[in-house]
Amino acid sequence: MSAVLMDGKGLSARIKEQVRAQVEKMSRRPGLAMVLVGEDPAAQVYEAGKRKDCKQCGIYYETYRLPGDVNQEELVEVVQLLNQREDIDGILIQFPLPEHLDDRAVQLAIRPDKDVDCVNPSNVGDLILGVDSFRPCTPAGVMRLLKEYDIDPTGKRCTVVGRSNIVGKPQAMLMLLSDATVTVCHTKTANLKEECLRADILITAAGKTGLITGDMVKEGAVVVDIAINRDDQGKLCGDAVFDQVTPKASYLTPVPGGVGPVTRAILMENTLCAARRHGKG
Ligand code: NAP
């Protein structure tokens, strides 16, 4: 058996086209602002991607670039300014912030109805309670990919590797809300292989090249690889050893071209949704 590779690029293009078609009919267009602190080269690449996506979808976009030594008050002031602007429906902050800044204070400062990546604790609470609100883009992208391939989590055993606040935890919660039986693994997990082997759906977001080997995957399991790593040749890869996992899995997300592009498309959808909440139509 060889896994079906889940085409995140294709799905992303379809989602963005749907967003574009809806935006085209609106009299006031949605707007997204991204706040970047410091000069992290990876963040600059993400920023360029978001700018391009917004252009494709007809969404107004702007970036606030703040120096790495910006103080807390100045950063919160920028967020508050964006909170007040009617042309901006979604606010995205590149986390983690430099150490001298307080992530939580900034997350709390984002108006919940503009919090398109679901980082404000009130939206995180709604997520846990299963209340309809924004979903964080990456975990929501994974759910969309599963849906696209008719993979129903109901009653399935799901193992999530990783428990970060932005990926692992919300991913586990979304799988639970979709009626999977969920196990969450991390660096203190006693027997990672055993936990992974149990999974009908294995979702990995550890950020460790080579972590998931073929012998950790149950025959026929669905493997979703969220991680974006580099191998020793500097090539992009996920946590799963592709050549070993492909013959075992029924479905697998490639890296690149799997979860990443869908994450970007969900951000466009969330921005459209925020604009509708703000009465734009
Ligand atoms: P993170 O904050 O570093 O969290 C990594 C998690 O993995 C932690 O919970 C850690 O456990 C766990 N972990 C690390 N090594 C492990 C091991 N050997 N065994 C078991 N668990 C292990 O990273 P993140 O922000 O969640 O991102 C995870 C990955 O997803 C990264 O590669 C990132 O680039 C990628 N990512 C991709 C997208 C996308 O759109 N595709 C979006 C966001 C992130 P502890 O809690 O015990 O430390």
Check which CATH number belongs to the domain holding 173 and give it.
3.40.50.720
Is any ligand 1 atom within 6 A of the Cβ of residue 193?
no
Assess whether 151 and 109 both reside in one domain.
no
- Helix 121-129 to helix 168-177 angle (10° resolution) is 30
Tell me, using a 6 A CB cutoff, whether residue 204 lines ligand 1.
no
Q: What is the pLDDT of residue 187?
A: 98
Domain holding 156, by residue range, is 137-259
Q: Provide the pLDDT for residue 41.
A: 83
Domain boundary among 60, 78, 113: 113
Q: State whether 141 and 109 are in the same domain.
A: no
The pTM of the full predicted model, rounded to 2 decimals, is 0.97
Same domain, 94 and 143: no
CA 90-266-58 angle, to 5 degrees, is 60
Report if residue 92 sits inside a domain.
Answer: yes
Which portions of the chain are predicted below pLDDT 70? none
In this structure, the answer to whether residues 105 and 152 fall within a common structural domain is no
Q: Among the atoms of ligand 1, which is closest to the Cα of residue 259?
A: 41
Give the model confidence (pLDDT) of 46-90 as tens digits.
899 999 999 999 999 999 999 999 999 999 999 999 999 999 999
Q: What's the gap in Å between 121 CA and the centre of ligand 1? A: 20
| Distance set, CA 235 to CA 8, 130, 199, 227, 232 (Å) | 19, 38, 28, 13, 7
Q: State pLDDT tens for residues 113-123.
A: 999 999 999 99
Distance in Å, CA 280 to ligand 1 centroid: 36
Domain count, the chain: 2
Residue 179 appears among annotated catalytic residues: no
Beta-strand (E) ranges in 149-200?
157-161, 181-185
Dihedral sign of CA atoms 62, 66, 72, 73 in order: negative
